Homo-oligomer: A and B are copies of this chain.
Amino acid sequence: MDQSDIKEAGLKVTKPRIEILKLLETSEKQHFGAEEIYHELLSKDIKVGIATVYRVLTQFTAAGLIIKHNFEGDQCVFELDRGEHHDHMVDMKSGKIIEFYDEIIEQRQKEIAKEHGFELMEHSLTLYGEFKDKG
């Protein structure tokens, strides 16, 4: 996941694009909101406009480089598309997000779609609750 991916998406390789991709790639955290990315870059002294952040995120999403999620609430979050589909568990207190994948659920979704004559293109499964272990 580097500059060549930006190029392959038919986009020019620019500072904001490189930096946004790098942030998503190298960060501990997996999920970022647009505003969050904006402030993160500013704090690294990378000057960028908020409009550019939104524009680039939209382009990256269209290009399949990143995935956009619409969890509860208003603002969307983005994560790098590492190719491995997964669903999410969201802690409603701390906001912490962890990922999981379950083959049984994936299979059942396909079966259910078929039963209904539905051509399944994508899905979104999110569990909301609270992590009980400390930390």
Write the residues of chain A forming the contact surface with B, with a CB cutoff of 8 angstroms: 70-72, 89, 91-92, 98, 100, 102, 104-105, 108-109, 112-113, 116-133
* Complexed CA–CA distance, A98 and B129 (Å): 25
Kindly name the residue among A100, A116, A123, A127 whose own CB sees the greatest number of chain B CB atoms within 10 A. A127
| Contact status A100-B123, CB under 8 Å | no
Chain B, residue nearest A73 (CB): B70
| Contact status B121-A112, CB under 8 Å | no
| Contact status B124-A129, CB under 8 Å | no
- Select one of B104, B116, B117, B132 contacting A119, CB under 8 A: B132
Chain B, residue nearest A126 (CB): B124
A128 to chain B: which residues have CB within 8 Å?
120-124
A112 to chain B: which residues have CB within 8 Å?
89, 100, 102, 127
A121 to chain B: which residues have CB within 8 Å?
92, 128-130
| Contact status B113-A118, CB under 8 Å | no
| Contact status A104-B113, CB under 8 Å | no
